[in-house]
Amino acid sequence: MAKRKTKYVCQECGYESTKWMGKCPGCQGWNTMVEEFEEVSGTKKRGFVTSSATRQTKPQPITKIEQKEEQRYDTHIKELNRVLGGGIVPGSLVLVGGDPGIGKSTLLLQVCSEIAKHGSRVLYISGEESVKQTKLRADRLKINSNDLFVLAETDVEHIEKVIDEMNPTLVVIDSIQTVYLDHVTSAPGSVSQVRESTAAFMRIAKTKGIAIFIVGHVTKQGAIAGPRLLEHMVDSVLYFEGERHHTYRILRAVKNRFGSTNEIGIFEMKEVGLEEVLNPSEIFLEERSEGAAGSAVVASMEGTRTVLVEIQALISPTSFGNPRRMATGIDHNRISLIMAVLEKRVGLMLQNQDAYVKVAGGVKLDEPSIDLATAVAIASSFRDSPSPATDVIIGEVGLTGEVRRVTRLEQRVLEASKLGFKRVIVPEKNLGGWTAPEGIEVVGVGTVNEALEVTLGGVSSGSPRFEL
């Protein structure tokens, strides 16, 4: 008979131990160790390499391997195609994560509908909702296709039998935390169940050439629940970002074996579902207030797309011993670094000021080219002197106060010209070797001081001047 082995597994990182511990040595999380039972027998098969044909494969020279162009299924949703690298690759396993209510199920149901409309058979498996509940969502989204099949099931073995019978083009599992395997004794959603279930779906995808999307719940910290191994097993990891109380959603690829990991797709949540935002720069800037201090526009690169967004800053005297530094959409540590440069290299006394910095529209920016625009917005709010509304500011700021070059400047300037901006402030090292579009002025600056003089035009009377 098989023996039962007791072990304690961390539900956050998958760390295993023979005894219970209050703090996990792997991820340093408290009260995450849960008791699980494992059947131990003489022979046990694991993973998706189980067929005799697969075990008998032999190594071959890389020069003899035939390479064919990857066929992709068009999702007929341009923003999703951009994030995936051109469409869905047959046999791929894609993990989609995001906060509850952000729109994961809505997006995937729309994808299933678009693919089913064009003659492909699609299977949507829901482990959290009944088929009637899924039908209600489909009616709201105006989805009506005979090639879209819905199944409410959580048993992985039964799901595999249904896939064998139907042989669909695309399968959606909503969600991976609800399905289970009988031979795994732990509860659905545990580390063991999530790992083994994902391995089973990976085997199905690779052996049958079926594209599978699996939905993953997220923890309070925003990471996908379950072991980190889950993200390593799949081919692509997509995160759905955005505020539940805002209409815009951002789909970001953090891992993609078939494309770039810098691409984003932008959607707007409406009554009839998620709609694509084909010109996000215009959307993010349409509510900008002209003549307001503490505002600057930057051209940021998100993959191959240029997005113009507004950075807002509010600087006010603090009433506490330690001033506050709050940031939304920008790394908190970057704000502290830029304020230190402004204080040391420019002479702005910011050590007794609270700073609140925000990227308007709910976008998250993490590239270095936003440094200069952030510095101008902070200085503008501190001096209460607005920068010109027709300026776009691009550049990375170094610790010595210099403005460093950025990549793809010509593409950024072209996007600013299309949206009607008249002047672009860029690093002087980027000048030369390219021609600016007609109707827009390009000004090169070498230091933060020069950028503040160009954008803010000095300071108003009664305020100390920038130290140049």
Q: What are the b/e assignments for 111-144, b being 16+ CB within 10 Å?
A: bbbbbbeeebbbbbbbbebeeeebeeebeebebe
**Residue 215 located in a structural domain:** yes
**Structural contact between residues 283 and 277, judged by C-beta atoms closer than 8 angstroms:** yes
271 vs 212, which has greater pLDDT? Answer: 212
Tell whether 236 and 314 lie within a shared domain: no
To the question of whether residue 102 is assigned a binding role by annotation, the answer is yes
Angle of helix 156-166 relative to helix 191-208, nearest 10 degrees, comes to 10
**Residue 62 located in a structural domain:** no
To the question of whether residue 105 is assigned a binding role by annotation, the answer is yes
Tell whether 103 and 251 lie within a shared domain: yes
DSSP letter for each residue of 60-75:
--GGG----PPP-B--
Tell whether 342 and 418 lie within a shared domain: yes
**Residue 56 located in a structural domain:** no
pLDDT band at 218 (very low <50, low <70, confident <90, very high): confident
pLDDT band at 227 (very low <50, low <70, confident <90, very high): low
- Domain end call among 225, 259, 278: 278
To the question of whether residue 103 is assigned a binding role by annotation, the answer is yes
pLDDT band at 39 (very low <50, low <70, confident <90, very high): low
- Give the structural domain span for 334: 283-456
Q: Give pLDDT, residue 457.
A: 74
pLDDT tens digits along 43-59: 444 444 444 444 567 88
**Residue 466 located in a structural domain:** no
**Residue 408 located in a structural domain:** yes
- Report the pLDDT averaged over residues 374-398: 94
pLDDT tens digits along 120-136: 999 999 998 999 999 99
Q: Residue 219: is its pLDDT beyond 80?
A: no
To the question of whether residue 210 is assigned a binding role by annotation, the answer is no
Average pLDDT, the chain: 86
Tell whether 125 and 263 lie within a shared domain: yes
**Residue 239 located in a structural domain:** yes
To the question of whether residue 98 is assigned a binding role by annotation, the answer is yes
pLDDT tens digits along 236-246: 999 988 766 67
User: Distance between CA 97 and CA 231 in Å, rounded?
Assistant: 10
pLDDT tens digits along 165-209: 999 999 999 989 899 998 887 788 888 888 899 999 999 999 999
Using DSSP's 3-state secondary structure scheme, residue 267 falls into strand
Tell whether 124 and 244 lie within a shared domain: yes
**Structural contact between residues 259 and 94, judged by C-beta atoms closer than 8 angstroms:** no
To the question of whether residue 101 is assigned a binding role by annotation, the answer is yes
Tell whether 103 and 242 lie within a shared domain: yes
Q: Residue 322: is its pLDDT beyond 80?
A: yes
Q: Residue 26: is its pLDDT beyond 60?
A: yes
DSSP code at position 370 = G
- Domain end call among 261, 278, 295: 278
Least confident of 52-66, 119-133, 442-456: 52-66
- Domain end call among 246, 278, 310: 278
CATH classification of the domain holding 300: 3.30.230.10
Tell whether 26 and 77 lie within a shared domain: no
**Residue 448 located in a structural domain:** yes
Q: Give pLDDT, residue 278.
A: 82
**Residue 367 located in a structural domain:** yes
Tell whether 35 and 108 lie within a shared domain: no
Q: How many domains does the chain have?
A: 3
pLDDT band at 12 (very low <50, low <70, confident <90, very high): confident
Tell whether 298 and 259 lie within a shared domain: no
Tell whether 93 and 211 lie within a shared domain: yes
Tell whether 317 and 367 lie within a shared domain: yes
